[in-house]
A = this chain, B = another copy of it.
Amino acid sequence: MSVATLERSVDISESLSATAQKVEAMLDRLLPRGEGPERPLLEAMRYACLNGGKRLRPYLTVCTAHLFDVDDERAYRTAAAVEMLHCYSLVHDDLPAMDDDELRRGRPTCHIAFDEATAILSGDALLTLAFDVMVDDATHHDAAVRIDLVRGLTEAAGAHGMVAGQMIDLAVEHCAVDEHTVQRLQALKTGALITYSAEAGAILGEADPDQREAILSYGRDVGFAFQIIDDLLDEEGDQDAMGKAVGKDAAAGKATLVGVLGRDAARAKAEALSDRAIASLETFGEAAELLREVARFIVARRS
């Protein structure tokens, strides 16, 4: 790694970390508190979201929103809604009937820390709250923009997006799968929401169709690159750095591109995707430098 690359990595780490803190603060503000017998639900929602994650998805939303001079209140509200949706998906995916994970970001998963019923309900409530945040006037003054935000999220998250991806992931466990199937699975399971995370900033910023298409291309490529590296780290990484069990995907017979292509070809693919993502941003010039950095960071990261 050259000195220049190292310096860039430091910059993006600081930027990610500063943004993650603001996302955490916004989540803390938007997540409900309360007493009474429903309190475990509200605590589980907070537990699932306020966990010091990398906040890659909201970072993409905020960086893209800033490209279009969206103010922080709107950008971070939308980013927090995207993160709530991501956290709901983790809570449900970790359930015993799904991936049966007990560890997430170095802590017990939600159904271990609370119980299964509370975990299911807190996921349901986070999904609902994500939409609630997006339709609030404070997220954008123009109702048509808020409608666009919600529509994009329902498409990315629903039966033709993330939920379908999780279904396919479970359905093809221990099956021989080809590259096309893995690519479709990952485009749905993780790609759709990552792509939307970037798109949401462009929607908020009322980007023109060409700009929006450029952001979408960028989002699709970084989303896929992110997932390939995630799978490589699951094979190569150590549990302490990852904060979750590693080597589990292979043991569970999960379909991954690393399994289909091998490690070297998979890493080369991720790097090519990152390069193409960066190329998509040409129209934005210098203003898109952080988005370029994050595309580089995604393939260089170690956890």
- The answer to whether B38 and A168 touch across the interface, beta carbons within 8 angstroms, is yes
- The answer to whether B150 and A135 touch across the interface, beta carbons within 8 angstroms, is yes
Cα separation A163 to B45 with both chains bound (whole Å): 12
Give 8 A-B contacts (CB < 8 Å), ordered by A residue: A36-B168, A40-B167, A41-B167, A95-B117, A121-B166, A129-B159, A131-B150, A150-B150
* Chain A positions 135-168 with a Cβ under 8 Å from a chain B Cβ: 135-136, 143-144, 146-147, 150-151, 154-155, 157-160, 163-164, 166-168
Q: Is A127 an interface residue (CB 8 A)?
A: yes
**Residues of chain B with a CB closer than 8 A to A159's CB:** 32, 38, 41-42, 45, 125, 128-129
Cα separation A128 to B135 with both chains bound (whole Å): 14
Which residue of chain B has the shortest Cβ distance to A124 in the bound complex? B163
Closest CB in chain B relative to A152 CB, distance in Å: 10
Closest CB in chain B relative to A13 CB, distance in Å: 33
Closest CB in chain B relative to A166 CB, distance in Å: 6
Given the interface pairs A127-B127, A147-B147, the reply to whether A163 lies near B97 with Cβ below 8 Å is: no
A: number of interface residues (CB 8 Å): 51
Q: Is A170 an interface residue (CB 8 A)?
A: yes
Within the complex, which residue of B127, B131, B132, B164 is in contact with A38, where a contact is CB–CB below 8 Å?
A: B164
Q: Is A116 an interface residue (CB 8 A)?
A: yes
Q: Is A115 an interface residue (CB 8 A)?
A: yes
Closest CB in chain B relative to A151 CB, distance in Å: 5
Given the interface pairs A159-B32, A171-B40, the reply to whether A132 lies near B154 with Cβ below 8 Å is: yes
- The answer to whether A115 and B132 touch across the interface, beta carbons within 8 angstroms, is no
Which residue of chain B has the shortest Cβ distance to A44 in the bound complex? B167
Cα separation A95 to B123 with both chains bound (whole Å): 14
Given A131-B150, A135-B151; 8 other pairs, CB 8 A cutoff: A45-B159, A92-B124, A117-B170, A118-B167, A120-B120, A124-B124, A128-B154, A128-B163
Cα separation A157 to B130 with both chains bound (whole Å): 12
Q: Is A172 an interface residue (CB 8 A)?
A: yes
**Residues of chain B with a CB closer than 8 A to A171's CB:** 37-38, 40
- The answer to whether A131 and B131 touch across the interface, beta carbons within 8 angstroms, is yes
**Residues of chain B with a CB closer than 8 A to A131's CB:** 131, 150, 154
Interface string of A41-63 (1 = CB under 8 A from B): 11001000000000000000000
Q: Is A272 an interface residue (CB 8 A)?
A: no
